Amino acid sequence: MAPPRRAIISVTSAHTTLHHGKETGLFISEALHPFNVFKKAGFEVDFVSETGTYAPDWLSEQPDFLPTDDRKQWEDVNGEFRKKLDNNMMKPEEVDASKASSDSDR
């Protein structure tokens, strides 16, 4: 039996300013790396967060945490990863379970 070909990655919509004035939120690589693994395996990937929004954690944008190849993908606002995050993020109540693969789709 083949695995489903759809995946949902849940990310945080929580963000706040830390004591040093920098904002915490989504750690980019924690969404980017699984996104890339699922896409490489042929999955359609969607993102969901509590409010349907996100804010990047400032630390996750630093070179030690976002190397060159990852940075290129992150900064490509027209790439699929950013489009999914920026324009197509769902709230939990918007997830359509009927889009999940059924046994007949496998």
- pLDDT (0 to 100) of residue 105: 43
Catalogue all structural domains in the chain, each as residue range(s) with its CATH number: 7-95 (3.40.50.880)
Quote the pLDDT of residue 19: 75
Grouped pLDDT means (10 residues each) for the chain, 106 residues: 81 88 94 97 95 94 95 97 95 84 42
Looking at residue 1, what is its pLDDT? 63
The pLDDT of residue 97 is: 79
Beta carbons within 8 Å of 49's beta carbon, 6+ residues apart: 10, 11, 12, 13, 89, 91
pLDDT score recorded for residue 99? 73
Taking alpha carbons only, the member of 88, 30, 85 closest to residue 61 is 30
